[in-house]
Amino acid sequence: MKFSGGAIACDGAEFSGGTILFVRAAFKRGTVAFTGTKFSGSAVEFTLARFNGGTVDFDGAEFSGDEVSFTLAEFSGGAVSFTGAKFNGGTVSFTVAKSSGGRVDFDNVTGAPQDWGPFQPSTGSEG
């Protein structure tokens, strides 16, 4: 799945039930907004996703699956924001995620990830 240029708005959407897969998704340039989106499945997977350039917002999003994984995700250039996001229950992981040349913000996050990977808790990270 590739999101390149333009704008995609999933603001306030609800993804629920089963496994929600964005595995190997490529978010390149443009703007993708998951602002206020609710992810409630047995697993939410952004494993191996690439966030290159542009802006991806998870501001105020709620993740309530058994597992939320950004394992091996790549964050480079552009900005990704989790400001005010809520991680409720389950395991949240940014294990072996890579960050370079962009900005990833975790301001005011509740239910912090168990594995922050390359990111600094609560203050955001600049790669």
What is the rounded distance in angstroms from the CA atom of residue 13 to the CA atom of residue 61? Answer: 10
Q: What is the pTM of this model?
A: 0.80
Give me the phi and psi of 31, to 5 degrees please.
-130, 130
Tens of pLDDT, residue by residue over 44-88, are 899 999 988 888 899 999 988 788 898 999 988 888 899 999 988
Amino acid at the residue 57: D
**pLDDT-based confidence at residue 126 (cuts at 50, 70, 90):** very low
Residue with tokens 């390359």: 118
What is the rounded distance in angstroms from the CA atom of residue 7 to the CA atom of residue 27? Answer: 11
Nearest Cα to Cα of residue 62 among 125, 29, 14, 121: 14
Nearest Cα to Cα of residue 88 among 45, 39, 52, 35: 39
Domain boundaries, the chain: 2-110
Residue 4 has what pLDDT? 65
Tens of pLDDT, residue by residue over 95-111, are 888 888 888 888 898 88
